[in-house]
Chains A and B, each alone.
Chain A
Amino acid sequence: MGVRTRTILVALALAAGQPGVAQAHLMATGMGPIYDGVIHFGLSPEDYLPVIALAFFAGLRGSPTVRRLLWVLPMTWLCGAIAALAGLSVPAGPLSWTTPVMFLVIGGGLAANLEISETAAAVVAAAFGGLRGVADISGVNASLPHLASLAGMVASAVVVFAIAASLALPLKRPWMVIAMRVSGSWLAASGLLLAGWVWRYGTQIAGS
């Protein structure tokens, strides 16, 4: 790729991501739409807990799996969210099951330290990312009015995934691996509780 092409691509990417006029300093604005997305992610355990567990799981599988999931997770998350913004709607009933099911699948996989292929791990990440993307937009449409909010949310997922995976990657001591697997079991247990709750109370809970 030539320097000119590269420059044009950067300019187009910047222009596409720009909310309006250049603001060299958005001082104390109520933080703006990107931070809205970041804060939304930070306040949504149904988003960040599985991301952390998925990162631990991928980290225990090795760096090739982490590298693959680092792309698959945000791409599918974005695709799910954009599909929801474009009008894709999933009924609240099935959507409310996404959190408990994902807690169970990802937490259980981490707890069991399942020896699955890179592709299988990518499929799990894609399913989670896509479903969260749809659920986040369906559930908080009013609080995420901009694509910039979506970008903030997905960027947070990437940062948290990368940092959490880097904690698991250099693990050498068995007790540290066990500690990570225990965190997976807690997530799976939370998933079971949530599943029972959704079963009992329907669509009012589970963060969807």
Chain B
Amino acid sequence: MRRRAAALALLFGLLTGRSAVGHEVRPAYLEIDQTGPATYSAIWKQPVMGDVAIHLVPHLSNGWLDRPPVDQYATGGFLIRQWKQSAAQPAPLQGATVSIDGLQDTITDVFVRIRLKNGEGVDTIVRPEAPQFRIDLKAGAPTTISAFLLLGVEHILTGPDHLLFVLGLLLIVRSRWMLLKTISAFTLAHSLTLAAATLGHIQLSTPLLNALIALSILFVAPEAVRAARGGTSLTIRYPWIVAFAFGLLHGMGFANGLSTLGLDKSALVGALALFNIGVEIGQLAFLAVVLALIRSFRLMQLQWPRPVAAMPAYAIGALGAMWTFQYGAVVLGII
């Protein structure tokens, strides 16, 4: 199985013929704070991979961000720019428009956080399909809750790596009780590392983490084929152990969406809780659809030909192998 998956991955890589680093998925971050009665600071943090940065340029309709920054440096995979600004008028940000040049050509989001001295503020996410928004400082709080919750749901539903791993586990598990234990173990594990990584207690480089997550997918696929053939192994007997162990890695992957933002601790804890709830909602929705589909196929008395029945496991294995090669090459500096 591993050899076949490797061959598929190589073929896949040849057919696609592009680098794994071509798509930046970490969010960028724009924060504007009122530092005094008429002074403001702005910080722009955008992800870079080595010397390569995607084209993202923040603009504020009052022109603050079009001036040269007071400081600019690269650190920990990010390019940072800072501005200081004085404003004579009383409410220079209310009604202004934030726009991000180049965002529409990416798959990255931008978190925008604005805070005034009087406690007013706004937190929102600017997305590629709508790369600008008008600042309304009165409507900040409700946006925060929905934004982070939605981000969690989107994060898992648009993350084929996590979904494929969960699907692989589903193909291995043989009873409802075992399914409950396995999914609970995965949830517990990824919640632990999501919190720890987001709060900065543990850290792993993004390419290495991606490679390890890909390896986890490659690991479950042959086990799913073995389970379908009636074989047994430690993973098939105790899938919850594997779910817990790899869940720790996947949690760190989830954390990439939040830990890199530079939110302050007080904002981060709330965001983390909402984000995690969103992830669980997305995961349960995916599980519900897959289980309902499996039940419906059983009621239809569908008899899949053996090659078709094995197709999901082979597809999971092939994708896992391909990603392992691609991210492994990034870790080793080959691409």
A interface vs B, CB < 8 Å? 1, 3, 6-8, 10-11, 13-15, 18, 20-32, 35, 63, 66-67, 70, 159, 162-163, 165-166, 169-170
Contacts and interface: CB of A to CB of B under 8 A. Distances in A.
B12 A163 contact: no
Nearest to A161: B296
Nearest to A27: B25
A66 B297 CA distance: 10
Contact of A32 (B8, B158, B213, B307): B158
B16 A1 contact: no
A66 to B, nearest CB: 5
A30 to B, nearest CB: 4
B125 A28 contact: yes
10 contacts: A13-B315, A14-B315, A21-B23, A22-B322, A23-B23, A25-B159, A26-B23, A28-B151, A165-B300, A169-B299
A67 B298 CA distance: 11
Nearest to A5: B307
Contacts, number: 146
Contacts of B327: 24
Contacts of B299: 63, 165-166, 169-170
Contact of B158 (A14, A26, A166, A169): A26
B175 interface: no
A161 to B, nearest CB: 9
A85 B205 CA distance: 43
Contacts of A23: 23, 25, 107, 160
A70 B300 contact: yes
A11 B307 contact: no
A27 B307 contact: no
Nearest to B155: A27
A13 to B, nearest CB: 8
B28 to A, nearest CB: 12
A7 B154 contact: no
Contact of A11 (B11, B25, B302, B323): B11
A21 B323 contact: no
Contacts of B22: 20-21
Nearest to A58: B300
Provide the main secondary structure of the chain B interface: helix
Interface residues on chain B, size class = 35 or more
Interface of B: 4, 7-8, 11-12, 15-16, 18-20, 22-23, 25-27, 107-109, 125, 127-129, 151, 154-155, 157-162, 210, 213-214, 253, 256-257, 289, 292-293, 295-297, 299-302, 307, 310-311, 314-315, 318-319, 322-323, 326-327
A30, A63, A165, A170, most chain B CB atoms within 10 A: A30
B298 to A, nearest CB: 8
A29 B8 CA distance: 27
A6 B125 contact: no
A28 B300 contact: no
A27, A28, A169, most chain B CB atoms within 10 A: A28
A14 B287 CA distance: 23
B314 A6 contact: yes
Contacts of B322: 22
A35 B18 CA distance: 23
B125 A163 contact: no
Contacts of B26: 27
A25 B12 contact: no
A81 B59 CA distance: 41
Contacts of B256: 25, 27
Contacts of B7: 7, 11
B15 A27 contact: no
Contacts of A31: 154, 157-158
Contacts of A28: 27, 109, 125, 127, 151, 154-155, 158, 257
Contacts of B160: 23-26
Contact of B319 (A22, A25, A70): A22
Contacts of A35: 157-158
Given A10-B314, A28-B158, A31-B158, A166 B292 contact: yes
Given A13-B315, A22-B323, A163-B293, 20 more contacts: A7-B4, A7-B7, A7-B314, A11-B8, A14-B8, A14-B319, A20-B16, A21-B22, A22-B319, A24-B20, A24-B214, A25-B160, A25-B162, A27-B27, A30-B128, A31-B157, A159-B289, A166-B296, A166-B299, A166-B300
